[in-house]
Amino acid sequence: MTIISLPGSSGYLNPTEITGKKVTYFSNRYVLGLTLTAGIGGLLFGYDTGVISGALLYIKDDFPVVNNNNFLQETIVSMAIFGAIIGAAVGGWLNDAHGRKKATLIADVIFAVGSVVMAAAPDPYVLIFGRLLVGLGIGAASVTAPVYIAEASPSEIRGGLVSTNVLMITGGQFLSYLVNLAFTEVPGTWRWMLGVSGVPAVVQFILMLFLPESPRWLYMKNEKSEAIAVLSKIYDPDRLEVEVDLLSAALEEETLSKNSVKYTDVFKSKEIRLAFLAGAGLQAFQQFTGINTVMYYSPTIVQMAGFTSNKLALLLSLIVAGMNAIGTVLGIILIDRFGRRRLALTSLFGVVLSLIVLSGAFFLQSSQSFSEICEAYILNGSCKSSSAWFAIAGLVLYIAFFSPGMGPVPWAVNSEIYPGKYRGVCGGMSATVNWISNLIVAQSFLSIAAAVGTASTFLILAGVAVIAIFFVLAFVPETKGLSFEQVERLWKVRAWGSAYETESLLENGSDRNGIYVA
């Protein structure tokens, strides 16, 4: 039996509509175990994002040449991002050629080696090399983890499970702040901060040895018996039959073109171009709406607002990181209920509002009247006027809106919108866009703020968020609850319209309910 899903007047039929059975988040411990293990890659991602800000303070103490050289400081921070750009680009090919499991294992080895190199670095140049290695591992993991989770997830909870990887990222950021505080009084402070990151990589490597390859990748590589064995641990017999039929239909389509996918092939097909535009665009807007200005520079922003105490700035930043993690949990709950598109739009509307609040707070701070009010406070080391707290409120509001929506949605969408043949390559290219955008934001925020003012900088980010709203409305379809095969047909309908629907009906003899049985 072959089941083909086509667009009809009532939308799309998916496996849950066919079988009448749904899987919940905690109903299958096997799927949950796969998700949490793969999500350790996200933990590494988040930890490294946050830990370097604290470690750099002590690196400067140990290496005077770093303390006196802003370029070296910037290079130490950004080299991991540069490595992640390369790792994400190569990771897409690695996923398709060798599988999601092997790609994860390779990323773990590279990350662990990089952690040891950083911890033992005798000079800043070896440290920079270690940062490059760690970045390569992070970049590969940022591609692999969402794809692995998505391909092992039932469609009705796929968004939430992929968002668990984002929760691990935000959790890793929160953990990094705690580790920074824990090692402040320990000899070799920064070496412990950076070196301890290798522990989760080793743990993930060991756990992955006992886990299977992605069932979809196995099936597409004609290792059908192994794929079905994995799927049988995820679905009951009735649902298993439907899922295998869908995989079989997808394999038949992909075998029509046996050539391996190249990066340039992404732009030759209209439907793949549309999918990549949506996925890469979401990744770019995730960064250009300012999230890593908050995560990388939250202590600096807090101090810009008037709280000049280092300790208070770090404490408030820890609270921001904690809110980011809590917001991601909310996103996991909402993404398969409200849908990706609606969640992204709601998030972006809130981001625009909060960035306007931040801009207003810094505009008040820069005014002459504000300066007069604050003068007495500044002499005592901090300014805690109402405008400073107004800025903190804007920061908290930003995280509250961003973390449930634009945090997880780009990763969830990119894990499910590409055909299996293109999933690794497109996912890698899209993640590369994310990392390049990340690097641009990280390297430009303070310079732009110095050139045009902090208030104007946040207004610029608000303008970008407005553009992002129109982008989502125009280019990002809703994929909630759809199987991978249904998503693939969705892009074909978008690309070719009624011509594709007519051709499919003629070729398959399908009725308008979307099911063809042969």
pLDDT at 304: 61
Task: Write down how long the chain is.
Answer: 518
Instruction: Please check whether residue 426 is in contact with residue 383, taking contact to mean a CB–CB distance below 8 angstroms.
Output: no
Residue 11 β-bridge partners: 8
54 versus 232: the higher-pLDDT residue is 232
Q: Is the pLDDT of residue 438 over 70?
A: yes
Residue 471 pLDDT > 50: yes
* pLDDT at residue 513, rounded to an integer: 37
What CA–CA distance (Å, rounded) separates 317 from 406?
20
CATH topology of domain 265-508: Growth Hormone; Chain: A; (1.20.1250)
**pLDDT attached to residue 4:** 41
Tell me the C-alpha to C-alpha distance, in Å, between residue 246 and each of 3, 18, 66, 261, 336. 6, 12, 57, 22, 21
The pLDDT, as a whole number, for residue 23 is 66
Q: What is the mean pLDDT of residues 178-202?
A: 85
For residue 25, what pLDDT is reported? 66
Please give the Cα distance from 416 to 487 (Å, whole number). 8
Query: Please, what is the average pLDDT of the chain?
Result: 81
pLDDT tens digit sequence for 82-126: 999 999 889 888 888 899 999 999 999 999 999 999 999 999 999
Q: 70-84, 274-288, 344-358, 451-465: lowest mean pLDDT where?
A: 70-84
**Rounded CA gap, 144 and 163, in Å?**
14
Domain ranges in the chain?
A: 24-211, 265-508
Mean pLDDT calculated for residue range 381-392? 62
In the block, which residue shows the tokens 């940062």?
131
Whether the predicted pLDDT of 289 surpasses 60: yes
Q: What is the pTM of this model?
A: 0.75
According to DSSP, the residues that pair with 8 across neighbouring strands are: 11
Tell me which residue of 173, 133, 135, 134 sits closest to 49, measured CA to CA. Answer: 173
Closest CA relative to residue 142, chosen from 11, 39, 35, 1:
39
- How many whole angstroms separate alpha carbon 477 and alpha carbon 156? 16
Q: Which of 54-58, 89-93, 296-300, 433-437 has the lowest mean pLDDT?
A: 296-300
**What number is the average pLDDT over the span 349-362?**
90
Per-residue confidence band for 49, with pLDDT thresholds at 50, 70 and 90 = confident
Select the highest-mean-pLDDT range: 455-464, 480-489, 493-502. Answer: 455-464
Secondary structure of residue 74 in the 3-state scheme: helix
Per-residue pLDDT band for 138 (boundaries 50, 70, 90) equals very high
SS3 344: helix
pLDDT at 287: 92
Residues of the chain above pLDDT 90, percent: 31
pLDDT-derived band at 505, boundaries 50, 70, 90: very low
- Residue with the larger pLDDT of the pair 296 and 41: 41
What tokens were used for 218?
Answer: 């196995």
Name the band, by pLDDT with cuts 50, 70 and 90, for residue 404. Answer: very high
Phi, psi of 204 (to 5 degrees): -65, -40
Can you read off the two tokens belonging to residue 340?
């990706």
For the segment 292-301, the average pLDDT, to the nearest whole number, is 65
Q: Which tokens sit at 443?
A: 């390297």
Find out whether 271 and 491 touch, Cβ atoms under 8 Å: yes
**pLDDT of the residue at 467:** 97
Determine the distance from the C-alpha atom of residue 464 to the mean position of all C-alpha atoms in its chain, rounded to a whole number.
19
Residues 35/168, Cβ–Cβ less than 8 Å: no
DSSP 405-441: TTTTHHHHHHTTSS-HHHHHHHHHHHHHHHHHHHHHH
**265-508 matches 24-211 in CATH topology:** yes
Whether 127 shows a pLDDT value over 60: the answer reads yes
Between these two residues, 333 and 71, which has the higher pLDDT value? 333
How many Å apart are CA 134 and CA 172, to the nearest integer?
Answer: 15
Model confidence over 412-428: pLDDT tens digits?
999 889 887 888 888 88
Q: What is the mean pLDDT of residues 382-391?
A: 62
Lowest-pLDDT range, 45-59, 198-212, 394-408, 499-513? Answer: 499-513
Q: Which two tokens stand for residue 360?
A: 């207003």
Residues of the chain by 3-state class (helix, strand, coil), percent to 5: 80, 0, 20
Q: Tell me, what DSSP letter sits at residue 372? A: H
Closest alpha carbon to 407 in 316, 344, 477, 469: 344
pLDDT at 242: 85
Structure tokens at 219: 């099936």
For 11, list phi and psi in degrees, rounded to 5. 100, -135
Side chain identity at residue 288, one-letter code: F
Residue 376 has pLDDT above 60, yes or no: no
Cβ contact 129:120 at 8 Å = no
Residue owning tokens 């208030």: 455
Sign, Cα dihedral of 76, 48, 281, 291 = negative
Q: Answer with the residue of higher pLDDT: 476 or 249.
A: 476
pLDDT at position 473 is 96
CATH class of 24-211: mainly alpha
Burial of 138 (0-12, 13-18, 19+ CB in 10 A): buried
Pair 39, 95: CB distance under 8 Å: no
CA-based diameter of the chain, in Å? 82
Using an 8 Å Cβ cutoff, are 18 and 485 in contact?
no
Return the ∠ at Cα 72 (arms to 68 and 78), rounded to 5°.
Answer: 140
- What local confidence, expressed as pLDDT, does residue 380 receive? 47
Mean pLDDT for 217-230 is: 89
Tell me, rounded to whole angstroms, the distance of Cα 286 from its chain centroid: 9
Share of the chain above pLDDT 70, in %: 80
The distance from CA 17 to its chain's CA centroid, rounded to whole angstroms, is 30
Among the ranges given (159-163, 385-389, 414-418, 469-473), the one the predictor scored with the smallest mean pLDDT: 385-389
